[in-house]
Amino acid sequence: MDIHIPLPRIKLLNPDFPNKSTGIINGLSSGLLNWNDIAYPQMYDLYQTLLSNFWKAQEINMQDDIKQWDLLSATEQDVFLRINTQLASLDSLQTPTMCQVMDYVTDSSFKAIFAVIAQQEAVHNESYSYILSSLVPINEQKERFNQAKNDPIVRKRNELILDAYESFRENPSPQNLFQLGVNSINLEGIYFYAGFAFFYHLARQQKMLKTSTMISYIQRDEMQHAYFMAQFLRILLTENPELNTEANIEYLYTSVGQAVQLEKEWAHVILKDIEGIELSEYEEYTEYLANKRLRQLGLQNLFKERVNPMPWIHIFSDEMMNETKSDFFEQKSRTYAKVTQSNGFDEL
Ligand code: ZN
Ligand code: ZN
């Protein structure tokens, strides 16, 4: 396989092929999905977990936040709106990207999971609009969404992700699929957190709790998406050793490192006037997150190993909301050799 040649766009139905796909890409697959006959049965559990998280924005009544909105300082309001639309702009990329990947992945069970993720991204996107429409008039909503589009620092940090996503759109090759997966982890597993931290910071002062509830649902989804994408990449590299190269492992570390750097820069801009969030602490938190993502990929820590430096974020995390799944995300650091088919699955 040449990892730079575009993958074929898969026909909807190939009756001559088996239902259980012979590969996640370039596999023989009929296109029929029977969840009882799939190559990676653990994907069914992941699919179920994603579905059990189902929620929608309108379930959360914004009345309390509407009353509290005027009590926020002008700075808090400004940062609140900027972060809200910046998060919306990140989620806007995810829905179409996840849908596009479905056309090139041969395994139908993976297609189904990408479809659920795309649906959840659409809900996230809607929830940011819902929060905004509860708090400010339509003209300001529009202005804020335009601000997110034009903000140079937002653009700069989105570029890392956009480059990878656009490359896959132009040339849906295995190599570009790998890079898309890495940057999806950057987006869902690292980029959201300065924004989340701000809302949780308000919540610990008993402010805007409805917004924080919504944010914690989004976070729960994102952590599972990032986890799924890590599993997807591991399988991709195991099934396609041509991709499991030193250069690609290097790409992974470099790209996660860049995402950390860009996230720190963004935090310094957006959180600089917010009292009570220590930026140095947030920097450590970003590194802590990056290590966690790399371990999910079966790789080593890129940064110093530390305990969660912002335990108050943990209170709102899915580990706390969903105790039974706590070890789903907590994985031990291991020595990295090469990604193999079996590593990690015992922890699913
Ligand atoms: Zn999302
Ligand atoms: Zn996501």
Could you tell me the distance, in angstroms and rounded to a whole number, from the CA of residue 222 to the centre of ligand 2?
4
Could you tell me the distance, in angstroms and rounded to a whole number, from the CA of residue 89 to the centre of ligand 1?
10
Alpha-carbon distance 243 to 239, whole Å? 9
Among the bound ligands, name the one nearest to the CA of residue 87. Answer: 1
Nearest to 17 by CA among 32, 8, 33, 28: 28
Helix axes 246-270, 279-296, angle to 10 degrees: 150
Could you tell me the distance, in angstroms and rounded to a whole number, from the CA of residue 91 to the centre of ligand 1?
5
Q: Specify the DSSP class assigned to residue 8.
A: P
Token pair recorded at residue 171: 């040339």
Q: Which of 79-93, 160-174, 216-230 has the highest mean pLDDT?
A: 160-174
Residue 94 has pLDDT above 50, yes or no: yes
Q: Residues 118, 333, 284, CA angle at the centre, nearest 5°?
A: 75
Q: Residues 70, 275, 127, CA angle at the centre, nearest 5°?
A: 50
pLDDT digits (tens, 9 = 90+) for 232-243: 999 999 999 999
Q: What is the pLDDT of residue 319?
A: 52
Q: Residues 289, 155, 197, CA angle at the centre, nearest 5°?
A: 35
Answer whether 249's CB lies under 8 Å from 299's CB.
Answer: yes
Q: What is the pLDDT of residue 241?
A: 97
Among the bound ligands, name the one nearest to the CA of residue 218. Answer: 1
pLDDT digits (tens, 9 = 90+) for 18-62: 999 999 999 999 999 999 999 999 999 999 999 998 999 999 999
Q: What is the mean pLDDT of residues 131-146?
A: 95
Candidates 40, 47, 104, 128; catalytic one: 128
Answer whether 113's CB lies under 8 Å from 47's CB.
Answer: yes
Helix axes 152-170, 74-101, angle to 10 degrees: 0
Token pair recorded at residue 66: 């509407």
Answer whether 19's CB lies under 8 Å from 29's CB.
Answer: yes
Confidence of residue 255 (pLDDT cuts 50, 70, 90): very high
Residue 328 has pLDDT above 50, yes or no: no
Could you tell me the distance, in angstroms and rounded to a whole number, from the CA of residue 326 to the centre of ligand 2?
19
> Catalytic site residue 130?
no
Confidence of residue 296 (pLDDT cuts 50, 70, 90): very high
Supply the DSSP string of 242-302, one letter for each residue: TT--HHHHHHHHHHHHHHHHHHHHHHHHHSTT-TT--HHHHHHHHHHHHHHHHHHTT---S
Q: Specify the DSSP class assigned to residue 188.
A: I
Could you tell me the distance, in angstroms and rounded to a whole number, from the CA of residue 14 to the centre of ligand 2?
30
Alpha-carbon distance 212 to 189, whole Å? 18
Token pair recorded at residue 308: 């969660």
Nearest to 122 by CA among 193, 221, 49, 209: 221
Could you tell me the distance, in angstroms and rounded to a whole number, from the CA of residue 27 to the centre of ligand 1?
29
End-to-end CA, the chain: 29
For residue 267, how far is the Cα from the chain centroid? 18
For residue 303, how far is the Cα from the chain centroid? 20
Domains of the chain in sequence order: 42-347 (1.10.620.20)
Could you tell me the distance, in angstroms and rounded to a whole number, from the CA of residue 93 to the centre of ligand 1?
9
Could you tell me the distance, in angstroms and rounded to a whole number, from the CA of residue 117 to the centre of ligand 1?
8
Residue 81 has pLDDT above 80, yes or no: yes
Query: Cβ-count burial of 209 within 10 angstroms (0-12 exposed, 13-18 middle, 19+ buried)?
Result: middle
